[in-house]
Structure 1
């Protein structure tokens, strides 16, 4: 069974978001996500980009959580990021997730490289080098608004999830279903992140897997095993590229 730290992590991370020089930043449910990841800075008209960049809103952290597997010194974490801009994407978004102790010491960190679309994205991963230390909160460092690229929402794609199935076992929960693409290009190694919420809305379990190929306009089956998850959670699924 996991010990989780969702509530204090959320409060501490949102407070850290305002630090100078850092952009600190959560998907709830099977929601459509924004623009076509094939769009790059080179494909955007420079004049349009320059004129519109002042309209870009900063990314935000919706929620964070972390937990340790009982009997191990191995932590999982989940961070839900929101891009509130309908017509902007971050084609080369780099995130650093830092596990911070109560005295402010950075105990471990992990990195993500994402094509960040409009809407919400879940970053799920692990901390392997914390040992017997305790995580007090997470700090999340990510891209500034100036790194956004204009991409009209009406011309971009999204994905949807359906047929969600949750099978609970003594050791883990299997979350499976279909992901359907509304993009104009195939995508390989699409990451599917799963977060489990308790009745209070806190994230108390998280895991991720991959879809080898998601064809343009087509669907693929996904299946993710979430270890040591409590019974009766509500699961939400997110895709990233």
Structure 2
């Protein structure tokens, strides 16, 4: 579903699948088990970024994980602000398992120089659901160094929890609008929940694609609460974004 703003920019909507947020008391600060994902095979610019639309539920805590397919990085991008002081990054991670989620997924995103030096790192703690999730953030202490690529470290298949598809809800985005300013682009709209429980502190990640499909801008924001069966407004300011991008919106928990 695509909506055009008055300025001719587009938005691509990703139906976001989720488990009830009672599982979100994430206190882990390290990686109990981790895997470094290969970003070299990430999706080339312009390929269809469709999301697997299957619902999952974390109420069934089955210790028998079974044949869990490893997570994969399908796309990654990094870019500098105009003054070259800060770098934004975006990583799209796919959980290809329709009946398994990662309720306490820890990710580390590393900025790597051409000679292999780790210049900086950033961390994410997620309830990782089936389908694609966008990890968006900033590196603020790179200095004059140049980032050659990103390394993504995340959970192993053994950390997955059996969670049958089709037994819970999802959130969707509507009434989306893109407004361009001299300094930034504001992407706003409504997020609607189909859950029986309130969803709190929902992260909304926004990535902007150019005409070739490449990610050239990214930012994130939060919605304090999306009521059960209800809606809430969101607004994310994307800094230093070129004009005329198509925006894709993800929710995560």
Normalising by the smaller structure, the TM-score range is 0.7 to 0.9
Matches within 5 A, 1:15-164: 22-24=35-37, 28=49, 34-36=55-57, 39=58, 43-44=60-61, 46=62, 49-50=63-64, 53-164=65-176
Q: 1:34 to 1:134 in 2, by over 3 A?
A: farther
- For residues 30 and 143 of structure 1, the distance between their equivalents in structure 2, rounded to whole angstroms, comes to 20
Partner of 2:211: 199
What is the TM-score normalised by the length of structure 1? 0.83
- For residues 216 and 77 of structure 1, the distance between their equivalents in structure 2, rounded to whole angstroms, comes to 32
- For residues 157 and 24 of structure 1, the distance between their equivalents in structure 2, rounded to whole angstroms, comes to 29
- For residues 32 and 219 of structure 1, the distance between their equivalents in structure 2, rounded to whole angstroms, comes to 20
- What SS class does the counterpart of residue 166 from structure 2 fall into? helix
More helix by share: 1
Alpha-carbon distance, 1:169 to partner: 1.2
CA contact (8 A) 1:196 1:205 kept: yes
Aligned-residue Cα RMSD (Å) equals: 2.0
CA contact (8 A) 1:32 1:159 kept: no
- What SS class does the counterpart of residue 55 from structure 1 fall into? coil
Q: 1:225 to 1:78 in 2, by over 3 A?
A: same
- For residues 112 and 119 of structure 2, the distance between their equivalents in structure 1, rounded to whole angstroms, comes to 6
- For residues 31 and 160 of structure 1, the distance between their equivalents in structure 2, rounded to whole angstroms, comes to 14
Alpha-carbon distance, 1:114 to partner: 0.2
- What SS class does the counterpart of residue 146 from structure 1 fall into? helix
Partner of 2:16: none
For residues 61-107 of structure 1, what are the alpha-carbon distances to aligned partners after superposition, in whole Å with 9 as ceiling and x for unaligned? 11101111121421110000111111111000000000000000000
| Farther off after superposition, 177-186 or 25-34 | 25-34
Q: 1:175 to 1:154 in 2, by over 3 A?
A: same
| Farther off after superposition, 96-105 or 58-67 | 58-67
Alpha-carbon distance, 1:54 to partner: 2.6
